Chains A and B, each alone.
Chain A
Amino acid sequence: MAPLLLHYPIVERMLDNGLRVIVNPDPTSPAVAVNLWYGVGSADESASRTGFAHLFEHLMFQGSANVPSGEHLASMQAAGGSVNATTSFDRTNYFEAIPVGALDLALWLEADRMQSLTVDQDNLNNQREVVKEEKRQRYDNVPYGDVVQLLLELHFPPDHPYHHPTIGSMAHLDAATLDDVQGFYGAWYTPTDATLVISGAVEEDSAFTRVEAAFGSHPGRRPPDHARPSPLPAHQGVPRTVMHRPVPRDAIHVGWRSPAPTHHDHLALDQALAVLGEGQSARLHRRLVRDLELSEGIGTTDFGLARGTSMALISARARDGVELGRIEEIVLDEVERLASEGPSDAELDRIHAGYERDWLLELASVDSRADEINNFAVLHGDAEGINTHLADYLAVTPDAVARAARDWLAPTARAVLDYHSGDQETLR
Chain B
Amino acid sequence: MSARPRPEVSPPGPWHFPDAQVHALDNGLAVWVYDLPGQHVVASKLVLDLPLSAEPHEHEGLASITLRASDEGTTSHPGGEISECLEDVGATFEGHASWSSTMAMLEVPRTRLPRAFELFAEIIRTPEFDESDVDRHRELRLAEWLQVKANASSTSSLVLRSLLYPATSRESRPAAGTDIGVIGIDRDLVAAFHARRWGPRGSTLILAGEFDHDPLDLARQWFADWTPDTDAPDHQPSTFTPGSATVVHLVDRPGSVQAELRIGGRGVDRRSLDWAPLQVASTAMGGMFTSRLNRVLREDRGYTYGASLVASPSRAGGSWTMAASCRTEVTAAACRESLDLLAMPEPLTSSEVGDAVAYQLGVAPLRYDTAAGIIGQAAAVACSGMTPGYVNDHFTRVAAVDAQSASEAFSRWVTPDAMHIVIVGNADVLRPALTDLGFEVVDAGL
Binding site for B on A (CB under 8 A): 1-4, 6, 28-31, 65-66, 69-70, 73-75, 77-83, 97-102, 104-105, 108, 112, 115-116, 125-130, 132-134, 136-138, 140-143, 213-214, 246-249, 279-281, 286, 289-290, 293, 296-297, 319-320, 346, 349-350, 352-357, 360-361, 364-367
Contact = CB atoms under 8 A, between A and B. Distances in A.
28 contacts: A1-B111, A4-B111, A69-B299, A73-B289, A74-B289, A74-B290, A75-B9, A77-B359, A79-B362, A82-B363, A98-B362, A101-B12, A108-B6, A126-B300, A133-B258, A133-B303, A143-B150, A143-B151, A213-B4, A247-B150, A279-B83, A281-B87, A296-B143, A296-B144, A346-B84, A353-B90, A357-B90, A364-B371
Given A142-B152, A352-B90, 9 more contacts: A99-B12, A133-B302, A133-B326, A143-B151, A248-B149, A248-B150, A293-B139, A319-B143, A346-B88
A102 B9 CA distance: 5
Contact of B366 (A82, A116, A353, A354): A82
Contacts of A141: 152, 256-258, 325
Contacts of A213: 4
Given A141-B256, A213-B4, A296-B143, A30 B366 contact: yes
A133 B325 contact: yes
Contact of A350 (B15, B87, B327, B366): B87
Contacts of B167: none
Given A133-B258, A296-B140, A99 B40 contact: no
A109 B258 CA distance: 34
Contacts of A247: 150
Contact of A101 (B9, B72, B355): B9
Contacts of B144: 296
B358 interface: yes
B107 interface: yes
B147 A248 contact: yes
Nearest to A350: B87
Nearest to A84: B289
Contacts of A3: 109
B258 A361 contact: no
A104 to B, nearest CB: 4
Contacts of B326: 133
A77 B290 contact: yes
Contacts of A356: 90, 109
B140 A1 contact: no
Contacts of A105: 6-9
Contacts of B153: 142
A178 B372 CA distance: 45
A77 B88 contact: no
Contacts of A97: 363, 366
A404 B37 CA distance: 39
Interface in B79-124: 80, 83-84, 87-92, 107-112
Contacts of A249: 143, 146-147
B299 A70 contact: yes
Main secondary structure of the interface of A (DSSP, over half): helix
Nearest to A362: B41
Contacts of A112: 3
Interface residues of B, number: 76
Interface string B133-172: 0001001100110110111110000000000000000000
A354 B362 contact: no
Contact of A319 (B139, B151, B290, B354): B139
Contacts of B12: 80, 99-101
Contacts of A83: 289
A280 B80 contact: yes
Contacts of A82: 363, 366
Given A78-B355, A141-B256, A354 B139 contact: no
B302 A142 contact: no
Contact of A357 (B80, B109, B354, B359): B109
Most buried by B among A346, A350, A353, A357: A357
Contacts of A102: 9-10
Q: 4 tightest A-B contacts by CB?
A: A80-B362, A353-B90, A129-B302, A30-B365
A97 B53 CA distance: 40
Contacts of A296: 140, 143-144
B361 interface: yes
A354 B38 contact: no
Contacts of B84: 281, 346, 350
Contacts of A129: 302-303
